[in-house]
Amino acid sequence: MTEAYLEIKNLEKRFGKLWALRDVNLQIEQGEYVVILGPTGAGKTTLLKIIAGLIKPTSGEIYKNSNLLNPFPPEKRNLAYLPQTSDYSLFPYMDVWENTIFSPKMKGEKPYDEIRSLCDEILDMVNLRARYNAFPDELSGGMKQRVALARAIAADADIFLFDEPLRALDARLRIKLRTEVKKLVTDLNKTTLHVTHDFEESVSIADRIIIINEGEIIQFDSPKDIYDYPTSLFSAYFFGETNLLAAKRLERKNGTYFVQIKNHVLAVENIRSNNSTKTKKNDKNEVVIAIKADKIHITPQNTIEKETDSYNYFHGVVSHSYYLGKWVNLEVTVEGISRDILVAIPSSELMKYKIGTNVILYVSIDDMECFEEPWSRIRKIEAA
């Protein structure tokens, strides 16, 4: 394997007694667009700031291109950090032009003529050359975002560090700009770390996603891999709409694992053992099943015969339905399961599932993930 472009080894950060980051190891390739996804307070911003050199880690090393970065102050690391503020930390007393040339001017390595032609080019790239003399408070949210991007590009940094760059925009603009940002950065072949807590945003732009929770990296994979094969209960829940069900472990038969929820017996491929340092293993028999809402097959009860000898079937009644445009979310009440099961179906099938319809749910054995976790974890994860 080739040497990674950005490598983080055994990084830890403690604020007093509180662990902000624990045992972080990462290898990121040149030109990759990596999204850091996690709930508020997971340590995303701390990780970014440590890479930028704005916070000193408690221990651990950061390498860029095999060079140790730790001893260098932020200005010598050649990384462009874009903080998480509603105005993108554009300097309020400088106009668009001054903001854009800020970095080359401060570094003072290039003659002014060169800086000028370079920055003209960059402002063209983000379509803001006409507004070069506008001050940040005269610009719209999207424009500010593009100025911030121009400023980062002008810095000619090796790695971009974006902390929730789309946070302050309205939903529509966010969708438009996220692809724009990605395109621009990929065209320049820059390595990017992008922090967000928005699942959709992360899936749509990331080459790879780092899922982080309570200072620990939960999973680092491509979006599809995380969706299909979550390695922990947290990444299963945090990624997409997921049903979490408390179940009991049964005896293993013919190489298949069985679990039980009240009177339902389910076959699962595997039970992932718990390797997190945080949760206590109090009961070996408690497991949690995660099923994505769109991986559940639903059929009206009258269409097929009852297959009593097969596993992974549930009988239930549609109790609520939520229309979401392209999709409809149904809540199905199943006898013996305390909470309703969320099922996503295409809107075209809505007519078949009126409220009160009796339905049969089926989940294929490979679409079900089973984790060895105490049941109390469900409530904890959902509350966060």
- Which residues sit at the interface with other proteins, rule CB under 8 A? 49, 52-54, 73-75, 77-85, 89, 91-93, 102-103, 106-108, 151-152, 155, 157, 161
Q: Find the shortest distance in angstroms from Cβ 19 to other proteins.
A: 19
Q: Find the shortest distance in angstroms from Cβ 31 to other proteins.
A: 20
Angle 84-87-93 (CA atoms, 0-180°, nearest 5)? 125
HSE-up (13 A, CA, CB side) for residue 315? 11
- For other proteins, give the closer residue by CB, 143 or 218: 143
- For other proteins, give the closer residue by CB, 164 or 286: 164
CA 40 to chain centre: 12
Per-residue tokens: 376: 């109390």
- For other proteins, give the closer residue by CB, 51 or 291: 51
Phi, psi values for residue 282, rounded to 5°: -90, -35
- For other proteins, give the closer residue by CB, 153 or 291: 153
Angle 161-163-166 (CA atoms, 0-180°, nearest 5)? 115
Q: Find the shortest distance in angstroms from Cβ 150 to other proteins.
A: 12
Q: Find the shortest distance in angstroms from Cβ 30 to other proteins.
A: 20
- For other proteins, give the closer residue by CB, 1 or 93: 93
- For other proteins, give the closer residue by CB, 102 or 375: 102
- Give the chain's largest Cα–Cα span: 80
The alpha carbon torsion through 201, 206, 212, 218 (nearest 10 deg) reads 130
On whether the CB atoms of residues 21 and 11 are closer than 8 A, the answer is yes
Q: Find the shortest distance in angstroms from Cβ 79 to other proteins.
A: 6
Q: Find the shortest distance in angstroms from Cβ 127 to other proteins.
A: 21
d(CA 274, CA 262): 23
